[in-house]
């Protein structure tokens, strides 16, 4: 199934911290466009042991995109009851560090007497003041892996859904391009013939004074030959054939499976090259306008293709 490179997924699990206290662990997985697969992890120290396994899980399922895992946890609200029954359930104060912090504050206020005193929230957040229950390392790793894999599954589903929507959009654009080709291609020989006749008439008029001489007749014949050769050079039958072939390749890629972003990006370059050639060989306003419309549609496709894996 075709996938977009952007997506989001999240999942949560619970971790026992001991003493009847439970932490709610939330893991988020985000993905955005990238030329290659780029993995990033922002995990608390308790969860870092799960990073290698999560990295392996991502590389088995994704080939492109910048993917980032983030995790955060907090004590479950139900732990409040446990804290009442056990004063040390949510953590214990480190009296030595608390005393040292108090001494530091007095010394600082002696130098800066107008400085405000530390608030209770500042004191409790000071590193080492509160010894919080952490739980077992195995429990953190298991919970992080479960939540991370669940978040990755949600991410994959969102990527598939967006990829399906992008396929529809790209299919509609290729249909419009086919309509342009279908409309303009049968008319091109007529445009070329009209241009050839117009050019021949102008040259004949310019050489009217020399037509009676042998040299003038030979020169006129040579000019007619040059006009024919020019008509060959401006023939765009091959360009139309390649356009239709590339459009068929796009449809084949959109109905296939697996990563197709790079392949479609290459096809966009080929389509654009043919449209540019059509524009440069144009001999009528209609051909020029058709080439410009094709280039506009190709650019729209290119922007969408950048989102595909």
Q: What is the pLDDT of residues 222-281, one digit of tens each?
A: 666 666 656 555 667 788 888 999 999 999 988 877 788 889 999 999 999 999 988 887
Residue 114, pLDDT score: 87
Residue 95, pLDDT score: 79
- Phi/psi class of residue 18: alpha, beta or left (left: φ > 0; alpha: ψ in -120 to 50)? left
- Residue identified by tokens 């590193």 is 127
Residue 87 class from Cβ within 10 Å (0-12 exposed, 13-18 middle, 19+ buried)?
exposed
Residue 131, pLDDT score: 61
Residue 251 class from Cβ within 10 Å (0-12 exposed, 13-18 middle, 19+ buried)?
middle
Residues 6+ apart with CB under 8 A from 163: 1, 2, 3, 4, 308, 309
First to last CA, the chain: 10
Looking at every residue in the chain, the average pLDDT score rounds to 82
Residue 129, pLDDT score: 75
Residue 293, pLDDT score: 94
Residue 143, pLDDT score: 94
Residue 41, pLDDT score: 96
pLDDT below 50 — which residues of the chain?
A: 80, 214
Which phi and psi (to 5°) does residue 273 adopt?
A: -65, -45
Q: What would the two tokens of residue 254 be?
A: 């959109």
Structure-derived torsion over alpha carbons of residues 57, 58, 63, 64, reported in degrees to the nearest 10: 180
Residue 218, pLDDT score: 63
Q: What would the two tokens of residue 301 be?
A: 């496709």
Q: Nearest 5 degrees, angle CA 67-CA 68-CA 71?
A: 150
Residue 158, pLDDT score: 93
Q: Count other Cβ atoms within 10 Å, centred on residue 193.
A: 12
**Integer angstrom CA distances of residue 85 from 80, 130, 268:** 9, 18, 67
Residue 259, pLDDT score: 82
Q: What would the two tokens of residue 170 be?
A: 């790209």
């Amino acid at each position: 199934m075709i996938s977009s490179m952007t997506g989001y997924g999240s999942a949560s699990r619970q971790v026992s911290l001991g003493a009847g206290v439970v932490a709610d662990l939330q893991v988020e997985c985000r993905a955005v466009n990238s030329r290659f697969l780029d993995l990033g992890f922002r995990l608390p120290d308790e969860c870092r042991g799960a990073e290698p396994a999560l990295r392996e899980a991502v590389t088995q399922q994704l080939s492109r995109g910048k993917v980032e895992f983030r995790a955060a946890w907090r004590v479950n609200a139900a732990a409040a009851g446990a804290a009442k029954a056990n004063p040390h359930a949510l953590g214990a104060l480190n009296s030595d560090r608390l005393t040292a912090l108090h001494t530091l504050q007095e010394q600082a206020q002696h130098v800066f007497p107008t400085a405000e005193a530390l608030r209770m929230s500042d004191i409790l957040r000071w590193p080492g003041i509160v010894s919080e229950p952490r739980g077992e390392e195995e429990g953190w790793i298991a919970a992080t892996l479960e939540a991370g894999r669940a978040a990755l599954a949600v991410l994959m589903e969102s990527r598939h859904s967006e990829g399906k929507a992008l396929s529809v959009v790209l299919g509609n654009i290729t249909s419009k391009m086919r309509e342009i080709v279908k409309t303009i291609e049968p008319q091109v020989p007529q445009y070329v013939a009209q241009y050839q006749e117009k050019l021949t008439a102008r040259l004949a008029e310019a050489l009217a004074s020399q037509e009676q001489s042998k040299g003038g007749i030979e020169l006129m014949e040579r000019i007619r030959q040059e006009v024919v050769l020019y008509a060959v050079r401006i023939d765009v039958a091959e360009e139309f054939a390649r356009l239709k072939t590339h459009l068929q390749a796009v449809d084949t890629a959109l109905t296939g499976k697996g990563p197709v972003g790079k392949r479609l990006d290459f096809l966009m370059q080929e389509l654009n090259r043919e449209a540019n050639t059509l524009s440069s060989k144009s001999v009528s306003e209609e051909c020029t306008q058709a080439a410009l419309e094709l280039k506009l549609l190709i650019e729209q496709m290119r922007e969408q293709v950048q989102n595909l894996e």
